[in-house]
Amino acid sequence: MDKRPDFVFPTTTGTFVAGQNGRVNLSERRSAGGFLENPSKSGFSHRTKVDSNPAQDLMRGNWGENILSQTFFGPENTRVIQNNVRREVYERSGDKKWVIDDQSADELQIVMRSIFLQNAKNLDYNIPGQVSDLNDLVIEWCVPRILSEIGMYQYYLNDISKLPIPISHPVSQSSAGTKSLPFRKFM
């Protein structure tokens, strides 16, 4: 009869790559936005849908509403930006191919408002071209930060999954006490 021990240490191997020895087991393959196979298990939830008329709220007190602001802040353009951000993160993540969820609508609108106030030409013609230029600026501002945050989040997940490796005991570098004098007779 096979006698099993009462306690078996978790699946830890000599290398910390294969075994889990940390506080939390996060070794499953994940996407940056949570589990790919089960989207309902993603870590955080936030509002990703925009209101029907965000241009009026976002420009209140600064600018009058015009066709450019209505088009740029509209739900259709916000959807275009969300999709382009997701595509750019996927393409720029190299061989990792991160698949992310939609970004927070509030945070995206803050970025869009900032880019609009700094870079909008507010011309009455070529509205699609102006919107496209502003969209490119929003995407170029968002994607590097998202990739950086994904890297930090992956480092955190790796760090929390492993116990720290203890530092070895100190080794004395002094030569004191290692040399002996020749033996001499007294008197």
The pLDDT of residue 87? 95
Contacts of 105 by beta carbon, 8 Å cutoff, 6+ apart: 46, 47, 48, 49, 50, 78
The pLDDT of residue 163? 82
**SS3 assignment for the chain:** CCCCCCCCCCCCCCCCCCCCCCCCCCCCCCECCECCCCHHHCCCCCCCCCCCCHHHHHCCCCCCCCHHHHHHCCHHHHHHHHHHHHHHHHHHCHHHCCCCCCCCHHHHHHHHHHHHHHHCCCCCCCHHHHHHHHHHHHHHHHHHHHHHHHHHHHHHHHHHHCCCCCCCCCCCCCCCCCCCCCCCCCC
The four Cα atoms 74, 79, 81, 83 give a dihedral, to 10 degrees, of: -170
Is a pLDDT exceeding 80 seen at residue 9? no
Rounded to two decimals, the pTM is: 0.63
pLDDT digits (tens, 9 = 90+) for 53-98: 666 666 666 677 889 989 999 999 999 999 999 999 999 998 988 9
Partnered with residue 31 across adjacent β-strands are 34
Mean pLDDT for the stretch of residues 104-127: 92
**Integer Cα distance of 11 and 45 in angstroms:** 32
User: Is the CB of residue 32 less than 8 Å from the CB of residue 151?
Assistant: no
Site of tokens 């040399």: 179
The pLDDT of residue 27? 58
What is the residue extent of each domain of the chain? 54-160
